Amino acid sequence: MILKDKVGLVVGVANNKSIAYGIASACYEQGAKLAFTYVNDSIKKRVEPIATEFGSKNIYELDVSKKEHFEALRESIKKDFGKIDFLVHSVAFAPREALDGEFIDTSKEAFNIAMEISVYSLIELIRELLPVLNDGASILTLSYLGGAKYITHYNVMGVAKAALESSVRYLAYELGKRNIRINAISAGPIRTLAASGIGDFRLILKWNEVNSPLKKNVSIEEVGNSAMYLLSPLSSAVTGEIHYVDNGYNIMGICATEDKDGKVQVAWETKGKENKE
Is 160 within 8 Å of 121 (Cβ atoms)?
no
Q: Residue 126 is which amino acid?
A: I
At residue 202 the predicted structure's pLDDT band, cuts being 50, 70 and 90, is confident
Would you state the pLDDT for residue 163? 98
Would you state the pLDDT for residue 198? 61
Catalytic residues: 144, 154
Quick check: 43 pLDDT over 50? yes
Q: Residue range 142-163: average pLDDT?
A: 95
Quick check: 274 pLDDT over 70? no
Q: Give the integer Cα–Cα distance in Å for 34 and 7.
A: 6
Exposure string over 21-53, b if 16+ CB within 10 A, otherwise e: bbbbbbbbebebbbbbbbbeeebeebbeebbee
Would you state the pLDDT for residue 192? 66
At residue 100 the predicted structure's pLDDT band, cuts being 50, 70 and 90, is confident
Question: Which domains, from first to last, does the chain contain?
Answer: 7-200+215-251 (3.40.50.720)
Q: Give the integer Cα–Cα distance in Å for 129 and 84.
A: 9
Q: Residue range 109-118: average pLDDT?
A: 97
Would you state the pLDDT for residue 253? 87
Quick check: 89 pLDDT over 90? yes
Quick check: 196 pLDDT over 60? no
Q: Residue range 180-190: average pLDDT?
A: 96
Cα separations (Å) of 98 from 79, 113, 115, 211, 239?
A: 40, 10, 12, 27, 32
Quick check: 201 pLDDT over 80? no
